[in-house]
């Protein structure tokens, strides 16, 4: 039977790559995006169903995830409106009990205190996060809260932690580690198209259930160095 997959945050860069990968795999796709962004999905007109609305609107999520076997969620900390936690909570509350739930975030999300961060990333999150919060642009704490709830959940979740991102052709499925600070991740770069590929491939990979993989491009120098050791 054809799998039905909901993509929350479908109109963004990551979302649109995920739609294409999901279509390529023959999945039926439902995309959720803000009303004003529906036009960004024109390329997929006729191929997907679009549910328009804010992704932290529980009624919107309830409608969109109905009957879906998997939900791919772009967790974003934009605005000061509990966007990430509201979105994640609604997905966990309304998705089918056995649905695969796959969330995106960045390396800055720590699960068990065993990640090792560069001073650059620590400074960016601490100082940049505070300034952005003060400007009411970004609410990083809420993304952290969303991930805390995901980690505590017994749903079939995976939280994919992306490195710095770049555009370009696919280099294949990224490699991953349980902890930031693993030398394999040191290059800190992944093509966005491959971040999306990892998210979509996770639907069929039960080994990733209850994991928070930190990813890097398989062709990044640090990944190549570890692969060929
Ligand atoms: N960018 C990076 O370097 C980077 C690095 C590591 C991990 N990540 C992770 O990768 C994922 C995708 O990030 P991305 O940077 O590539 O972004 P993206 O895919 O372009 O997605 C941004 C999303 O945020 C929505 N959005 C923008 N402004 C908003 C607002 N004011 N209120 C509500 N929603 C708003 C967009 O919706 P509209 O289409 O409606 O505008 C879109 O769905 C995220 O989970 C992020 O944490 C990103």
How do the pLDDT tens digits run along the chain, 229 residues long?
A: 889 999 999 999 999 999 999 999 999 999 999 999 999 999 999 999 999 999 999 999 999 999 999 999 999 877 767 889 999 999 999 999 999 999 999 999 999 999 998 888 887 778 777 777 766 667 788 899 999 999 999 999 999 999 999 999 999 999 999 999 999 999 999 999 999 999 999 999 999 999 999 999 999 999 999 876 6
**If you take atom 45 of ligand 1, which residue's CA is the nearest one?**
105
Q: How far is the CA of 10 from the centre of ligand 1 (A)?
A: 10
**Residue 36 Cα: closest atom of ligand 1:** 40
Closest Cα to residue 223, out of 193, 190, 184? 184
Point out which residues pair with 191 in neighbouring strands. 166
Q: How far is the CA of 116 from the centre of ligand 1 (A)?
A: 24
Which residues contact ligand 1 via a Cβ below 6 A? 9, 11-15, 33-34, 37, 40, 74-76, 78-79, 83, 104-106, 162, 164-165, 192
- Alpha-carbon gap, residue 208 to 205, rounded angstroms: 6
| Distances, alpha carbon 227 to alpha carbons 66, 151, 160, 175, 183, in Å | 41, 29, 21, 10, 11
> Domain containing 200: what range?
4-227
**Residue 37 Cα: closest atom of ligand 1:** 40
- Alpha-carbon gap, residue 167 to 15, rounded angstroms: 14
The encoded tokens of residue 99 equal: 């649905």
Sign of CA dihedral 177, 179, 183, 188: positive
Cα radius of gyration (the chain): 17
Q: Among 50, 72, 76, 214, say which to mutate for ligand 1: greatest number of ligand atoms within 8 Å of CB.
A: 76
**Residue 9 Cα: closest atom of ligand 1:** 43
Q: How far is the CA of 67 from the centre of ligand 1 (A)?
A: 25
Residue 175's CATH number: 3.40.50.720
Q: Among 13, 14, 187, say which to mutate for ligand 1: greatest number of ligand atoms within 8 Å of CB.
A: 14
Do 33 and 9 form a contact (C-beta atoms < 8 A)?
yes
Non-local CB neighbours of 98 within 8 Å, separated by 6+ positions: 156
State how many domains the chain has: 1
**If you take atom 21 of ligand 1, which residue's CA is the nearest one?**
12
């Amino acid at each position: 039977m054809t799998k039905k997959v909901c993509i929350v945050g479908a109109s963004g860069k990551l979302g649109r790559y995920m739609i294409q990968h999901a279509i390529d795999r023959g999945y039926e796709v439902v995309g959720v995006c803000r009303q004003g962004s529906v036009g960004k999905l024109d390329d997929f007109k006729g191929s997907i169903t679009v549910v328009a609305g804010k992704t932290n609107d529980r009624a919107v999520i309830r409608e969109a995830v109905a009957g879906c076997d998997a939900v791919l969620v772009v967790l974003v900390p934009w605005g000061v409106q509990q966007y990430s936690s509201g979105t994640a909570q609604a997905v966990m509350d309304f998705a089918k009990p056995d649905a695969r739930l796959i969330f995106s975030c960045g390396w800055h999300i720590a699960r068990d205190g065993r990640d090792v961060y560069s001073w650059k990333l620590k400074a960016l999150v601490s100082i940049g996060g505070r300034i952005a919060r003060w400007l009411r642009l970004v609410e990083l704490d809420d993304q952290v809260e969303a991930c805390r709830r995901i980690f505590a959940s017994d749903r079939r979740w995976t939280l994919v932690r992306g490195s710095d991102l770049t555009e370009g052709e696919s280099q294949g499925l990224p490699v991953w580690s349980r902890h930031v600070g693993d030398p394999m991740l040191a290059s800190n770069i992944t093509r966005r198209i491959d971040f999306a590929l990892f998210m979509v491939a996770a639907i069929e990979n039960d080994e990733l259930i209850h994991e928070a993989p930190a990813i890097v491009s398989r062709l990044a120098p640090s990944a190549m160095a570890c692969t060929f050791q």
